[in-house]
Amino acid sequence: MKFQQDENQYDEWQAYFSYELLRAIKERLEQAALPSQQVRELTTAIGFDLACLIDASAPFEVEGTTITPVLTFSAEPDLLLHQGAPSDLHEYVHGNADELFGD
């Protein structure tokens, strides 16, 4: 497996990934027949919390060891694209939520 650092492509893909994460949350909440404002609020809050975990913005520990997730993307076999640091998904949540909900 090879790793390639490409901040520009990575940034584009993480923005799309953030949107898809929010879309999946929204669809599940809509299936629960919640009011639309509550769907929006919960989608954004849950999406932000999950993005922070993926980003390592909300660190977690396992048996006293701090774990840092590092998100990579792949558009071809045996190649993982990274940006040289943990992702920044949480920074896209609010803008993507506005787009997803048509604002």
Q: Which helix (H) or strand (E) holds 96?
A: helix 93-100
pLDDT in tens, the chain (103 residues): 999 999 999 999 999 999 999 999 999 999 999 999 999 999 999 999 999 989 877 778 999 998 888 899 999 999 999 998 889 999 999 999 999 999 7
DSSP H helices in 32-67: 36-55
DSSP 8-class letter at 30: H
Domain count, the chain: 1
Domain that holds residue 65: 2-100
The pLDDT of residue 59 = 74
DSSP 8-class letter at 78: T
Tokens of residue 48, six digits:
């932000």
pTM: 0.88
Cα–Cα distance list, 10 to 38, 82, 86, 88 (Å): 31, 6, 11, 10
